[in-house]
Amino acid sequence: MDNFIVDNNRYIIGKNHKKEDVSNFVIHEVVKKIIFEIDRICRKNDIPYALAFGSALGLYNYGGFIPWDDDGDIVIDYFDYERLVNALKNDLSEEFCFDSEATNPLYNPLIPAFKVRYKNSYIKEKNHFTLPDHSTNHGIFVDICLFMGVPKNKKEHLKLINYSKRKMPLYIFLDAFLHINPKKIRKKLREFEKDTATKYRDSGYVSQTVIIPFQEYPKKFVESLSFPKEVIYPFKEYDFYGRKIYSFNDIKEFSRLRYGEKALKIVTESGEIKDPFLKKNKKSGHIKVIDIYD
């Protein structure tokens, strides 16, 4: 795979505590460090992983990060969760740490299963109040999500996701506003997640764990909530900033299904590569404050 969009523009990701601009060039170097560390640990412990979501789209369109993106996304199989917990506990280098329910019983189940962080940094997300993750370290992170088998039928899939959506308002109210540990809701969500993953383990379709309630937003970009297994597996190696990193078997088809045809790079008859995104849409959306202490 070659012929990528070239975009060397500087994009402002956020501001540091001094109100100074922090650019994509700065944060991408840190996110790259985290991804390379996850790659090292997964290879050492034989845990399959893949760059996913916006990171997969960036790999297809730009051969790396989406230039104005401010994070990284990785997925593993649901049934590899415990193995990755143990691998991170045993092998994660000192300059990194990770968040999950395995490290913090207050960890929010409505967000990705892991956040692997670079310690020598600080980040405050715009949704930090409504979706607190109760981290002890608030460094720049890469999300690690869980993929599981799901029904082929979209309506059946949505019914499963709606279980989490119905519980989300009360969970957020207790957790963010009243500062009460919603442990009963968390337990029910995890039991539902495990039952669903077990039931659909042999399904021909996979997707992010059904207890993540935000999968259809924004709807205009979502062509599909689930993906044929052959689009996702087996994970394949791709060139990524001088290293080999894993992503999905067919990142073009994944990106088309997840983000729509209009999100894919445009290849003209003459072979020219054009960016599908307008300049006004090239904006980072997650970060409120960011500091790097190197």
For the chain, domain boundaries:
12-292
- Output b/e per residue, 7-43; b: 16+ Cβ within 10 A: beeebebbeeeeeeebebebbbebbbbbbebbbebbe
Which residue in the block uniquely carries the two structure tokens 């689009």?
Answer: 231
pLDDT of res. 83: 98
Whole-structure pTM value: 0.94
CA distance 271 to 202: 41
Write out pLDDT tens, residues 218-256.
566 667 789 999 999 999 999 999 999 999 999 999 999
Enter the tokens of residue 150: 């799901």
The pLDDT of residue 219 is 66
pLDDT, tens digit (0-9, with 9 covering 90-100), for 162-211: 999 999 999 999 998 999 999 999 999 999 999 999 999 999 999 999 99
Give the CA dihedral 146, 147, 150, 152, nearest 10 degrees.
140
